[in-house]
Amino acid sequence: MADISTHQLAELLVGIARAQQAIIEAVESSKPGFRSTHLSPALVNAARVRDMHRPLQLADLPARVLMQCMGRNGADVDHIARDLAELLGRTAHDPDSLDMTK
């Protein structure tokens, strides 16, 4: 398998988020209010946005990317790539990591 860069991974995450956004828009068009009533609270919980004292974790990133895609400006691939590089670098040196291959 070819090595994938953080920028390529960020582009993939944005593409997946755009596909999710299309599904959300389809549900919203058939059931108005779905986004604000049901989706937004669940997505904020999944992204763990409100927990300011906790550092960003890799598991939080996909929900945050979806939130960015749903926003006015869209997702910033370069910023996501930097976040990925930081997160992947941090987990590589994390003594509490569950990765047994290191």
pLDDT of residue 100: 47
Check: CB of residue 23 under 8 Å from CB of residue 35. no
pLDDT of residue 26: 95
pLDDT of residue 44: 86
pLDDT of residue 94: 55
pLDDT of residue 93: 53
The domain segmentation of the chain, as residue ranges, is 17-90
Sign of CA dihedral 50, 46, 75, 83: positive
Only one residue has tokens 């976040």, namely: 83
* 76 vs 17: CA distance, rounded Å: 12
Check: CB of residue 37 under 8 Å from CB of residue 83. no
Please list the rounded mean pLDDT of every run of 10 residues in the chain (102 residues).
Answer: 85 94 93 90 83 79 90 89 87 52 53
pLDDT of residue 19: 95
Torsion of CA 13, 16, 20, 23, to 10 degrees: 160
* 32 vs 100: CA distance, rounded Å: 47
pLDDT of residue 90: 66
